[in-house]
Amino acid sequence: MFGKKACLEIWSFATGKLTQTYCDANLNVEVTFATAKTNSIVVGFAAQVHKDFEGHIEKVNGRIIVWNAPGNIVSESQEFPNLVRDIVVSPDSNWIFAAQTLFSRDSHMRHASRPAGNEAGGAAFRVRP
Amino acid sequence: MRTARVAIEATLWLLFTSGLAFATDMLKAVGLPPAEGTIVSAAFSPDNIHLAIIRSNASDRQNELHVLDVRTGKEVSHVSVQEESFRQDSQHAMSYSSDGRYLLLTATGADAVLVFDTTEFQVAKRIVLHPLARPLLSQRPNNFRGVISLATASKADIFGVLTHDELRGNEIFIGSFSSLAISKSWSIGQGRTFSQIGHSALSLADDGLQVAVSILPEGNKVPKNFDNLRLYDSKTGSPLNMIRTGALIGRSKYYQIRPY
């Protein structure tokens, strides 16, 4: 949103350092997130921010993304035309409430339609050990 | 046999890292009972069966608490939220107690939390955070005072509330569901509540013994001497650890990492 791409981050109180990040290949991941009681998943909103020529935010769209603990994207939602501010995850991680909608984590697998790779050439996620 | 397994794993890893086998699940939307109004807060019960939601209905200026069974999508119960300090249009916050018996409810800017007994579905206790403070202060537009964030411990009967006061700074309140009262509160100094690019928030360790807070500094940068991630002892309020992340923080949550 502000030049540098934003990611979800894990900071360690023990070391005082950043230990892991959860990113999307192209979008900022910020505004809101939630974790399940089992700590098995992290959920965030990957946002694309559209600004006018003066830098004012005109529109924010994006999708809800679910990562597993190592930082792999395991689920995602369809595109939302607006900013999703609050996400709530059930303790067992099977249910997500966001954008006035209750979601279940369907087990149906599909192949990703977007390319994977590193950031420059596209990693779908980035893990900093 | 071992060689074959290693080869299969290596192949899968190569496929995965090269993107050929990258696959994700699609989140599936589940229908909720039709009702008027906007949902301003939601919380799942610890047994994953119930979803509590607050619906704000502008037409009758009424907020209602609904509890749904996520397995059937049907409403289990609902009640009108009668609390004068909760502005109807403000963001609400809810969290279940670890045993699911209580539901803690508040609203941004309020100076009270309501503890609902989920067995009788009525308010068991209204807890005022600043009983001696003058209520006029929170009415001034530039003097925000009240709740910013709320959390419950997942394995203990402890809850925590973070409040903000433009004049007195931020405070942490720790209470228990067994006593239905605040047991400890302390000030953690100045800091903003939330902005377009950040959010002050509180969360508890599973056992409730530690409370983590992320605080927004006054400006749009984190000053060199400003620790924006802080860990406190819930019983004493003593600081345990501080981190300056360098960048502004949005929402935050404290959790213990398990090996994977």
Q: How far apart are CA A66 and CA A84, in angstroms?
A: 14
Is the torsion defined by CA of B69, B74, B77, B81 positive or negative?
A: positive
Range scoring the smallest mean pLDDT among A59-63, A118-122, B178-182: A118-122
| CB within 8 Å of chain B, chain A residues 30-89 | 30-35, 37, 39, 57, 64, 66, 68-70, 73-78, 86, 88-89
**Mean predicted confidence (pLDDT) in A76-89:** 86
The neighbouring-strand residues paired with B125 are: B115
pTM: 0.80
Choose between B98 and B132: higher pLDDT: B98
Considering only CB atoms, which chain A residues are within 8 Å of B250? Answer: 30-33
Share of chain B above pLDDT 90, in %: 39
User: H-helix or E-strand containing B2?
Assistant: helix B2-18
Residues 6+ apart with CB under 8 A from B140: none
A–B interface: beta-carbon pairs under 8 A: 134
pLDDT at res. B23: 63
Which one of A11, A60, A76, A118 would you mutate to disrupt binding with B, by most B Cβ within 10 Å of its Cβ?
Answer: A11
Question: Whole-angstrom Cα distance, residue A80 to residue B254?
Answer: 28
Identify the weakest region by mean pLDDT among A48-52, B161-165, B210-214. A48-52
Confidence grade of residue A28 (pLDDT, cut at 50, 70, 90): low
* Nearest-5° Cα angle at B23, B17 to B27: 140
Express each pLDDT in A42-55 by its tens digit: 888 888 877 788 77
Q: What percent of chain A has pLDDT over 90?
A: 4
3-state DSSP assignment of residue A19:
strand
Q: How high is the mean pLDDT of chain B? A: 81
pLDDT number for residue A38: 61
Rounded Cα gap, residues A68 and A36, in angstroms: 10
Phi-psi region of B169 (alpha: psi -120 to 50; beta: other; left: phi over 0): left
pLDDT recorded at residue A86: 81
Closest to B122 measured CA to CA, from B51, B47, B67? B67
Q: Which of A25-34, B24-33, B50-59, B66-75 has the lowest mean pLDDT?
A: A25-34
